[in-house]
Amino acid sequence: MTVVNETSRRRAGILLPVFSLPGSRGIGTLGAAARQFIDLLADHDQQIWQILPLCPPGYGGSPYSSYSTHAGNTLFIDLDQLLKAGWLTPEELESLDWGADPRKVDYAALEASSQAALRKAFARCPNFQTDPDYLSFAKRSFWLEDYAMFRAIKQSQGGKSWIDWPEPLRNRNPEALHQIGNELAAEIAFYRFGQWIFDRQWDDLHAYAQKRGVKILGDIPIYVSLDSVDTWVNPALFQLGKDKRPLFIAGVPPDGFSAAGQVWGNPLYNWPKHRDTSFEWWTRRVEVQLKRVDMLRIDHFRGLESYFAIPSEADSAAEGHWEQGPGIEFFRVLSERLGGLPFVLEDLGYLTDEVRRLREDTGLPGLQLIQFAFDSREPANYWPFEMPRNSVVYTGTHDNDTLRGWFASLSEKDQELARTYTASQSVPEADLPEVFVTLALTSVADTCIIPMADYLGLDSSGRINTPAKADGNWSWRMTAADLTAAPWEAIGELTRISGRGAVTP
């Protein structure tokens, strides 16, 4: 099996979702602020920018519950570039509601305004489908037609899930699809247009990052949403009944952080069918993402060894059970077909010897969390002195609280343990993030990635996601002042003296 170990030397990076970038129109975009962030990373020895999935978000703005594994999030489109192209006017953009709080994404306002702006631009480009650049994009995007049709039909059906569409459309009857394709031709073209613009802008931004020596670490959610083009087009690849509804759904059992466990609701894979097709769907999925980013974080890696199956009619996760996943065969086939796996494995959560063995067999780096080392609710071993070199260390991930929020939530006993270990008994609580950031950067782990909110020393207001919480996630943003006021010189110096810079002492 071929492994492309992108974390085999000491390096540092920063975790910051695209939506968290500053900007004047409700959400971070692929525009000037993104390039400014890349410049700051490059100028201060940060060699990795970790983002979250780039796919269109589902309920509550979650990028882990998307309408498509392949499509791009058009909310990230930089409208200033469309303004310069003459496809929008300043007055049109100023008349739209982008939300009142510059530190929070208001998805309700944003969705409406972004769609309105993009539709105006689309109306001014009636011949875009003859553009050579679009034709090239469409030719290499095998998923585009299914996605555009799915979104157009969903729009015409009042936003209903595809399993509630009329039977001929739900079951993809060819005659019904041909007819609806003609009826919704303009709407289908609109969704093609949005994906083309996203692709152009993302490719330009990615090329800029590569030029500056910054690698993009992307993210591939292990599961897909039930209400997605993926399940609509490929129902046989999922554990669905004759009515196309899930037989079992994904989640995790009760643990120290959630007494009831978590019910995610995603349909589970029909792994025997994936094996029969030599993991073709997965191979194409990973291939698409590796054309967009340099490395991929594989979400919920332990689900590839064994996964938690909850009956779809169950009242809680406690009624679930474990089933065997595809294991090392999955990685071997992907390696043979793609020629190398630049993966980082998100191996957090309930770990067994079998999960650890699978990670070791892949030769790929797993994750280490500073927060978990001092949290008695986490049973696994995350002591910094026992971290393997072939790993990626974080203070916390996007699913964790910020360092300040986390420390405040600890028991007195755990707080005392953390302070004793780091000799920080006299350090004010507001200054503790620097202590734990230093501990991560100076660890033996080859790669260290710090969430931007921890460099900013934010409390829980800077948290990105709280698992099992239905709303209020995926919305934290920096302001332009935050971006420039971050301790960049200190970040660069600490990166270099910990042996992670381009030039080390």
Show which residues are catalytic.
Answer: 299, 346, 399
Residue 249's φ and ψ, nearest 5 degrees, are: -130, 165
Number of alpha carbons in the 13 Å side-chain half-sphere of residue 490: 10
| Distance in angstroms (rounded) separating the CA atoms of residues 26 and 100 | 8
Pairing outcome for strands 343-345 and 11-15: unpaired
Backbone φ and ψ of 504, nearest 5°: -110, 155
Residue 149, burial from CB neighbour count under 10 angstroms (0-12, 13-18, 19+): buried
**Kind of pairing, strands 262-267 and 248-252?**
antiparallel
List Cβ neighbours of 424 (8 Å cut-off, separation of 6 or more).
Answer: 418, 432, 435
CA–CA distance, 19 with 210 (Å, rounded to integer): 20
What is the residue type of 178? H
DSSP for residue 100: S
338's enclosing H/E stretch is helix 328-338
Q: Which of 364, 328, 336, 344 is nearest to 296 (CA)?
A: 344
DSSP designation for 401: P
Sign of CA dihedral 178, 182, 188, 193: positive
